[in-house]
Structure 1
């Protein structure tokens, strides 16, 4: 019996165009479905075994990642957000892309296209090129995304701060909105809030702190508390308000926070964190500083943000509404970055307390729009905007944990506590005991008493 009859794929009858055509289709398809199999059947078996081993390794790793994500989601997210793991993934995917390219080119050689039926040659070649782009492109894109992710995470997340456990079952993060838009000089915290997250359930409470609050106390261990034992008054800046704490520490008391830079923070941020602790009675573990211009870029990257505008708001202009260039109209709106930035900043036709509520509404809306589909389809733009929008001291090794917690948070409504007159808070003469009681009532709501039977 001839070798071609025993193994028509390895030893084909090159004079039979129909047989060579079927063989060509099979080899091209097998190379795509099981890289390395075409070489084992019809070419260099050593190269084929390398391809099969690499393919099997990739399948096992992918299967393990899926199972691990389902069973140990927090752990696998920690691995996937680790710089070393991302570097290894990038190298592995790049190497596999090169190997798949070599296997595909070699498969085209094994096909012997000129021996196939004339009418099929173009379609076989076109199909092979299509599969080449799909096969090599997939791990190449994966390697690129791994590199972008690593660079983004390294530029955003803190490397100096240490991981800390939750306090009273909660993680509390100071969220600062730095108003460094194109018409402002410098950066100052124009929006101040504390995001309190239940470490088990992921339930989020956003606590809005008025930037103009006076007489704010500092936490007991704060060096600023020694300077201002009776609260932030008689200070060195023009107005002793909450957002002036940042400026005073940055300009006049840097020596009190000499180790701030080593933990990825600044004197102004640390002093503001301690003031927020004094106001809320909560221990704040981390901070996140959001630049308003980068914030606009992030919203553009997401494709806009959906909000319901309650009243028309001016863009530009002064307190007398002179020089208004445009109005944001009431009703359901999908705001681009520019208009969302003004939705968060505008106050001349309303007041600071209304603006605080809009900022919290906008933050919650953005959180809800961070879906896997949205992020994956706009990954590069979101990653690029992220490096401009956020600075934080959250350690990168806790990112997986917080990502898992954020996924839990999306499954339930976000609670909001605004320290405004609507909650009987006077920002000029605040009662901090009342403020802390208000916050605790939201963080620890009373357990409903079951109705008596009968």
Structure 2
């Protein structure tokens, strides 16, 4: 049993962006993928990059430093979830003991403590790496429900250089898939989170066995652009087998976005952890369909449902 008796394996997907004016890498995409090791049934949990007061597990030295969550004096931006990867190694070098990547281990602990589940492994991909991986699998197909900006900066008043136009079943190459996932101009973080989740689902759809075999060389080359992962090489074959199970299984998602129950500036982590526990419980969950913590089927939530422009 490559999974050591675990019913689920939890992999943290991180999208890293150095960006202009930034010190080191900030993980602007944070998605925990929880996979049933038998059936391949998968639930994705998307966390906002600006989530504050991230929790650390009680047995972590970081919990001793931040018992009330990750916060402190100074610029609030240094205490967002996306800053942990760079800030913890800078502020507390060596605090986690032997580590090949302190930033990654710190954000793994932050996600684990905040969601109340273990984080087994992580994969951190930079922007170029993401683009090349999508190109290596021949692109992805997504539904685009409203124009998505390419480049541009809303705060600085810099307009986009173009748009991905709305339409069903749009096949995107790596460049356009990258902007579909990360385009910010005229949209908010939560719209980006929805698109990122749909991007992951589209990659699952595109990565069929024939594609993986025929494009092996391109994938190996693109894989070199992955910044880091702590998945042991000996587990890679098991993950490949499990990925094929995931492709044929149900994929659901929970996006933690602003609602009457969730606010990224001061999250109710008891509710967050209860939501995660319910989403991973095999029995059908009860409750109203408009419950903000209710898992959604990835396919139906990524369906073509164009947004009507407001005048």
Q: Secondary structure at the match of 1:283?
A: coil
CA contact (8 A) 1:304 1:335 kept: yes
| Match runs of 1:273-422 below 5 Å | 273-319=108-154, 322-332=158-168, 333-389=170-226, 391-422=228-259
Higher RCO, Cα 8 Å, sep 6+: 2
CA contact (8 A) 2:11 2:122 kept: yes
Bigger mean CA offset, 410-419 vs 395-404:
395-404
Deviations 1:170-189 (A, max 9, x none): 11111111124799774221
Deviations 1:383-442 (A, max 9, x none): 100121352111111222222221111112211011112583111121111111111221
Tell me the residue number matched to 1:212: 50
Whole-angstrom CA distance in 2 between matches of 1:445 and 1:439: 12
Structure with greater proportional strand content: 2
Please say if 1:171 is aligned against 2:9.
yes
Aligned length: 283
Larger Rg belongs to? 1
2:64 to 210, 214, 226: 226
TM-score, length-scaled by structure 1: 0.59
Q: CA deviation at 1:323?
A: 2.8
CA contact (8 A) 1:179 1:189 kept: yes
Q: CA deviation at 1:230?
A: 0.9
Q: Secondary structure at the match of 1:174?
A: strand
TM-score, length-scaled by structure 2: 0.84
For structure 2, the 5+ residue unaligned runs are 287-311
Deviations 1:233-270 (A, max 9, x none): 11576521111211211212122134112xxxx11111
Tell me the residue number matched to 1:159: none
CA contact (8 A) 1:182 1:293 kept: no
Structure with greater proportional helix content: 1
CA contact (8 A) 1:292 1:389 kept: no
Whole-angstrom CA distance in 1 between matches of 2:182 and 2:33: 20
For structure 1, the 5+ residue unaligned runs are 1-73, 75-162, 450-454
**CA shift in 2, pair 1:206/1:448, >3 Å:** closer
Tell me the residue number matched to 1:433: 270
Deviations 1:169-217 (A, max 9, x none): 2111111111247997742211111111112111111100111011111
**CA shift in 2, pair 1:198/1:164, >3 Å:** closer
Tell me the residue number matched to 2:98: 259
Whole-angstrom CA distance in 1 between matches of 2:129 and 2:285: 43
